[in-house]
Amino acid sequence: MGLSRVAAPGKIAFVGGFEPRRCGIATFTHDLCEAVSAAIPSAECFAGAVNDRVEGYKYPSRVRFEMLEKDLDSYRRAADYLNFNNTDVLCVQHEFGIYGGPAGSHLIALLKEVRMPVVTTLHTVLQSPNPAQRKVMDELILRSDRLVVMANKGAEILRETYGVPEAKIDVIPHGIPDIPFADSEASKEQFGLEGRRVMMTFGLLGPGKGIEQAIEALPEIVRRHPNVVYLVLGATHPHLIAREGETYRLGLERLAADRGVKEHVIFYNRFVSAEELAEFIGATDIYLTPYLNEAQITSGTLAYVFGAGKAVVSTPYWHARELLGDGRGALVPFRDPKAISDGVCLYLDDDELMKQTRHEAHRLGREMIWPSVASRYLESFEHARADRRSKPRTAFAGWTLGSRPYNLPPQRLDHIVRMSDGTGIFQHAIFNVPNFHEGYCTDDNARAFILCNLLDESGGAPHSLSLDQLSTSYLSLLAAALNRDTARFRNFMSHGRHWLEESGSEDSHARALWALGVGSGRSRNSGHRLLSVHLFELGLPTVDHFTSPRAWAFTLLGIHEYLREFPEKAKVLAARDVFTHRLVELWKHCATEDWPWFETSATYDNARLCQALILSGADSPDDQALEIGLKSLRWLASIQRTQAGHFRPIGSNGFYVKDGARADFDQQPVEAQAMVSACLDAFRVTGDPFWSGEAKRAFEWFLGRNDLGLPLYDSASGGCGDGLHEDRVNSNQGAESSLAFQLALAEMNQAEHPSVPTTSS
């Protein structure tokens, strides 16, 4: 049927995600809209975008209306907009996961209301849908004038599973840009990859992509072709980030390190533009799609790279089987690293075979370029309407996992803000809700004040967050905590702002001094800095009478911070020498070759004892203090590392007594944080990468590299569970635990960006 039967559409609307939202559907909707607009300049092409977040995105002018994923009324309002603007054709991009309601059923509310012909592109066609998916599919089929699928397998499933008449189905391939055939060596220079054989996988990262299978195959590939590098291009899927942060990517990075191929793997954790992607594809020799599930009817990345004329090694999911059959690529079994290595080496061993495969792929790809695809869509639109009528880039050779900065979660402080009010931060939470009944404590407000100073110094807090306001509350509580008559800090305050004791523990007093030392040496707020100095100097002399080794250590950490701003303060220097000497003498009287520790038991905040001596020893002529600090920390690291290689802090359910059995549970977040901080300071002092590795190991405990394989950090809120029990994570997200994670993250961030000044926390 030709276009002459029906007048060309004047207004064409496209519904789906839209750039700059970062997902495959958004990119496809954008590209299709632009291609159709170019193919028929007389038409007014515009889009409606589905938002997965309340604040939406900064869309281009093509986007005329928006829907909030879970807001059903917004779909009805979108239908009204389309109807009132006399839209001629609506082209819907369908994927179950981008629309609200069970199986994306909110979309049906829009389709029930619109009056124009509807052409729906099905990005997923399920052979065995669940009841909710089946109901949505039946409604889509009923309310769409045409259905577009991107592979013949999709058309087959529509006919056999859903009973769709063949005359209602259009098979139109996934569109791709028109990339000229070129030798990959010409493109490698801009990435610093000259002379390397480049394998690449592209797309939003997440389980199901099978990247771990490719990494498992890499040792054998590297053995046969040592110049191979594997580029994994693309950001982690935003929804995965929201649920669990970067746990999946971190696991892949650990796997590469464990398999001895980290110098052959490059993770480029960015959502790249179409122009950037074309450059990466140009440098690629072999493209890998080691997906784990057969039932994938469409892969835009596969179409993109195949059409660019690249050799492809893939598992036989439906789209790959159809596109790469008859020798157009190498199909390998699912979950079979050896087969992947054989498939890759098939091409690397035979340049002529690779050249033939590439030329054939590029030839067939001309049918998939966007102008051709847009023309096919216009034909589908015509059918529907007729039926309705009777910048230079840095070198990438140095971006291997062994040389790149560590990939850290974003700093998210929602829960810290939720736990805080004008008085300070509450001690405890019931799940993620502040527990007013337990009130406040000096310990946690000291931690929170340190965090604010670290984040303010590094610029690491969200733009909408007022660190100054938060830190003012925390510091005001510390100021109120000091009993001027006794020069002792009180610890516990009721929700009604009544102190519950005349003086707190020695440890809480010293932790307050530690925070005030940070404020003295780091705060950019002059009032905060002056008050911190005043309170620090009032509370410091009291510690001379303390007997708690941890109080000495916390005080030393505060002294270290204070001396950064006031290095000549004689009384503070003298106090440093006194408390350093006490810890050294404690060590000498207790430590043995088998038990190189300060006491006959290792209990809580253990790494702080080591850290205090490392910093004091590094800042003074006392080499003995530094030596003891490093030796004791190395021993502590050894007893807190499992055979599987993950961090296991000494449990608080019994601790670890000399010549006795150590408690493995309950594991506390403050222990992981203390280890992170102490090891980072050991690394800064010695330059020994062993310590940065130990810091990373301890930090990953929060993210799920622990005995239960469960994350304590809640990436949705920024909170952290109160401990790891033998069978579960403690679901309460108290201040101590949540601050422990946020402080550890802040220090890890500073360590990864050495230009930012560092501070112990």
User: Residues 231-257: pLDDT tens digits?
Assistant: 999 888 877 887 788 889 999 999 999
Q: What span, in angstroms and rounded, lies between the C-alpha atoms of 188 and 196?
A: 8
Considering the entire predicted model, what is its pTM?
Answer: 0.64
CA distance 698 to 746: 14
Taking only the tens place, the pLDDT of each residue in 510-526 is 999 999 999 999 998 99
Q: What is the pLDDT of residue 464?
A: 47
CA-to-CA distance for 269 and 250, rounded, in angstroms? 12
Residue 499 pLDDT = 97
Which residue from 120, 69, 116, 70 is spatially nearest to 94, judged by alpha carbons? Answer: 120
Say yes or no to pLDDT of 2 above 70.
no
Query: Each residue of 156-203: pLDDT tens digit?
Result: 999 999 999 999 999 999 999 998 898 899 899 999 999 999 999 998
Residue 392: what pLDDT? Answer: 40
Q: Are 198 and 184 in contact (CB under 8 A)?
A: yes
The type of residue at 448 is: A
Q: Which domains does the chain have, with CATH numbers?
A: 3-175+372-389 (3.40.50.2000), 185-366 (3.40.50.2000), 414-752 (1.50.10.10)
Tokens of 681: 């300071």
Q: How far apart are CA 338 and CA 583, in angstroms?
A: 55
Tell me the average pLDDT of the chain: 92
Average pLDDT over every residue of 671-697 = 97
Bigger pLDDT: 706 or 245?
Answer: 706
Could you give the 3-state DSSP secondary structure of residue 233? strand
Angle at 700 between CA 633 and CA 440, to 5 degrees: 80
Residue range 573-609, pLDDT digits in tens: 999 999 999 999 999 999 999 999 999 999 999 999 9
The share of the chain scoring above pLDDT 70, in percent, equals 95
Helix runs in 174-228, H state only: 185-188, 211-224
The identity of residue 72, as a single letter, is L
On whether the CB atoms of residues 75 and 40 are closer than 8 A, the answer is no
Per-residue pLDDT band at 761 (split at 50, 70, 90): low
Most confident option among 60-74, 231-245, 423-437: 423-437
Cβ atoms of 304 and 281 within 8 Å: the answer is yes
Q: Element (H or E) spanning 601, and its range? A: strand 601-602
Query: Does the structure show a pLDDT above 70 at 265?
Result: yes
DSSP codes joined into one string, 253-297: HHHHHHTT-GGGEEEE-S---HHHHHHHHHT-SEEEE--S-S---
* 754 has a pLDDT exceeding 50: no
CA distances from 654 to 178, 498, 664, 727, 742 (A): 66, 33, 9, 17, 27
Residue 587 CB contacts under 8 Å (≥ 6 apart), including other chains:
597, 598, 628, 632
The pLDDT of residue 197: 96
Pairing mode, if any, of strands 429-430 and 118-122? unpaired
pLDDT score, position 26: 95
**Sign of the CA dihedral with 361 first, then 366, 367, and 369 last:** positive
Is residue 139's pLDDT more than 60?
Answer: yes
Helices (H) and strands (E) in the chain, counts: 27, 23
d(CA 423, CA 428): 15
Instruction: Of 84-88, 220-224, 748-752, give the lowest mean pLDDT range.
Output: 748-752
Residue 304 has pLDDT above 80, yes or no: yes
Residue 710, φ and ψ in degrees, nearest 5? -120, 135
pLDDT, tens digit, 9 for 90 and up, residues 348-404:
999 999 999 999 999 999 999 999 999 999 999 999 998 877 544 344 455 465 654
Percent of the chain, pLDDT > 90?
80
Range with the poorest average pLDDT among 276-280, 314-318, 611-615, 723-727:
276-280
CB–CB of 637/679 below 8 Å? Answer: yes
How far is the C-alpha of 411 from the C-alpha of 522, rounded, in Å?
20
pLDDT at 1: 39
pLDDT at 59 over 90: yes
Poorest-confidence range of 63-67, 170-174, 291-295, 397-401?
397-401
Tokens of 418: 């939720």
